[in-house]
Amino acid sequence: MSTFPTTLFAGHRYAVLGLGRNGVPAVLALASMGAHVQAWDDGEAARASLAQQVATLPAHAQHNISCAPLETVAGFNALVLSPGIAHILPKPHPVALLAQQAGIPILSDAELLFQAVRKAGSKARFAGITGTNGKSTTTTLLAHILAQAGVPVAAGGNLGPAALALPLLPDNGVYVLEMSSYMLERLDTLHFDTACLLNLTPDHLDRHAGMAGYAKAKMRVFTGQTEHDLAVIGIEDDYCRAIATTLRTLPTPCLTIAGAQTTPAAELYGQEGALWQNGQKLATIGPALPGSHNAENAAAAFAMADFLGVPTQAIQAGLSSFPGLPHRQKIVAEQNGIIFVDDSKATNADAAARALGCYDKLVWIAGGMAKEGGIASLVPYFTRIAHTVLIGRDAAQLAQTLAAHNAPYSIVDTLERAVPAAFAQAQQSGARVVLLSPACASFDQFSGFEARGLRFAELAHALAPQNGTQTGKIG
């Protein structure tokens, strides 16, 4: 691994709008590669943070950066927009409109990483992973397998380091990029040697004019692939099954995956804690990957690692040693024989379903800012839930669904009250699991799902061991 040449983008000009986790690294990286960058964010704090980081750069890079409103984008090579800033729907940002009118490409930082890697002369390969759920686990798992096998690897994108914060890899290296639908809409020349679409459930529909637009954006992960590449696709939902049918008509080899046996059957699938193909057991799935949803993630990582030349034995070693990801079904504490599982990343019902399906009897902590449909799709799991403890803005809405199915619940508003309440309910009911899998966004009470999960772990650790049973209805 090495740094990019300081003159790689000499003579290039880039506009960067939005100075968050993607924008700031883009500014710093492009300037360090010799480009002139005009950056802007409407937030004063974001601009101040950029100034602090610019001050740490070498003098030549500092001189390449200006911070000023983007009143015109004429003469720029590209506009880099923060993923959260719309360029099409629901309403394009005025600067995006300026770029479109001037014929200036609007690019993601992943696209610019690809351009930089190729311009620097590296033949490193690219693996792209997308889907509504599971993409972070799959991205991290694939990167772990590659690293354990001795392959130079850098992982990031929508997860972890921003794309332009990644180093220059040698020819035998692999970039493993988690790709959001927003990022996929802003590609130009980037194509993935191996690409995966795990699943599709309703999400970000306002940005894509419904599910058809969302599916179209996600399918862009396969754009530009050739007969020398590999497309991997889950077939556990109708949308992905339809896309798989389309992929089968293209020259690119296509491998279907699933976390369990399906009809029609997936070519690579999970069963009984292992991965199977054509009735042959390929590998055992490690303990940090519970449930059929993680079996699907493991199948994707296996298929992509195999395509990238990793021997089966090395893939098995990586699957076995994978430590898991924070806030994704992570056991964070145990009190009186009751385990506390942090699945705060489950910000929609489909993600929560994957966790609920892993336990026979549990106490469930849910709530926050509900997504479209609430928890109606989770009704089949209610028989597994001894008690639900609800928090957050839309607790009352979720309670209506629970009440309609005679599922016991309490509304306690905050996580600080929910954790001891859930502990008490677990002791009273004999449930051995307290699961935080909110099925909702966190922004009503937390800065993000990470903060929510960390607070859950703190509260679980702070519980005083109790004997006997206690409490009735709470809230």
User: In the predicted model, what is the mean pLDDT of residues 130-156?
Assistant: 96
Alpha helices in 92-148 (DSSP H): 94-102, 109-119, 135-148
Q: Is the per-residue pLDDT at 467 higher than 70?
A: no
What lies within 8 Å, CB to CB, of 34 at 6+ separation is 5, 6, 7, 8, 9, 10, 11, 12, 60, 64
Q: Is pLDDT above 80 for 205? A: no
**Which 8-state DSSP code applies to residue 380?**
G
Give 306's pLDDT tier (boundaries 50, 70, 90). Answer: very high
Quote the CA–CA distance of 351 and 355 in Å, as a whole number: 7
Sequence ranges of the domains in the chain: 13-107, 111-321, 330-462
* Residue 55 contacts residue 171 (beta carbons within 8 Å): no
| CA distance readout (Å), 18 to 41, 93, 184, 365 | 5, 11, 18, 34
> Per-residue confidence at 470, pLDDT binned at 50, 70, 90?
very low
Pairing status of strand 194-197 against strand 78-81: unpaired
For residue 474, what pLDDT is reported? 31
Contact predicate 215/243, CB 8 Å: yes
Confidence of residue 1 (pLDDT cuts 50, 70, 90): low
pLDDT at position 24: 96
Quote the CA–CA distance of 292 and 137 in Å, as a whole number.
13
User: Class for domain 13-107, per CATH?
Assistant: alpha beta
Do the domains spanning 111-321 and 330-462 agree at the CATH topology level? no
285-308 burial, b at 16+ Cβ within 10 Å, e below that, comes to bbebbbbbbbbbbbbbbbbbbbbb
What pLDDT does 469 receive?
33
Structure-token pair, residue 263 = 């009809």
SS3 283: strand
> Tell me: the pLDDT tens digits for 158-183?
988 999 999 999 999 999 999 999 99
Report, as an integer, the average pLDDT of 285-296: 91
Give 470's contacts (C-beta < 8 A, 6+ positions apart). 424, 427, 428
Paired sense of beta strands 106-107 and 369-370, if any? unpaired
d(CA 24, CA 67): 12
Place of tokens 């794309």: 163
Cβ-based neighbours of 469, under 8 Å, separated by 6 or more: 424, 427, 428
111-321 placed in CATH 3.40.1190.10: yes
Residue 343 amino acid letter = D
What pLDDT does 264 receive? 87
Q: Do residues 94 and 102 lie in contact, with contact meaning Cβ atoms separated by under 8 Å?
A: no
pLDDT at residue 472 greater than cutoff 80: no
Query: Is 363 in a helix, a strand, or coil?
Result: strand
Query: What are the CA-CA distances from residue 45 to residues 15, 19, 298, 405 (Å)?
Result: 19, 10, 40, 47
Q: Cβ contacts of residue 263 below 8 Å, gap of 6+? A: none
How many angstroms separate the CA atoms of 271 and 261, rounded? 7
Q: What is the pLDDT of residue 319?
A: 97
**Residue carrying the six token digits 């992905």:** 240
User: Encoding tokens for residue 231?
Assistant: 């497309």
Identify any residues that bridge with 78 across adjacent strands, giving them in sequence order. Answer: 14
Strands (E), 179-227: 194-197
* CA–CA dist 257, 247 (Å, integer): 14
Across 211-354, the runs of DSSP E, i.e. the strands, are 230-234, 254-258, 268-271, 274-277, 280-284, 330-335, 338-342
Confidence (pLDDT) at 465: 63
Per-residue pLDDT, 206: 72
- pLDDT at residue 336 above 50? yes
**Please, what is the average pLDDT of the chain?**
94
Mean pLDDT for 56-60 is 94
Q: Which two tokens stand for residue 239?
A: 């949308």
Amino acid, res. 276: W
Give the mean model confidence (pLDDT) for residues 434-448. 97
Name the fold adopted by 330-462: Protein-Tyrosine Phosphatase; Chain A (3.90.190)
Residue 191: pLDDT above 50? Answer: yes
Using pLDDT thresholds of 50, 70 and 90, give the confidence band for residue 210: confident
The answer, yes or no, to whether residue 325 has pLDDT greater than 60, is yes
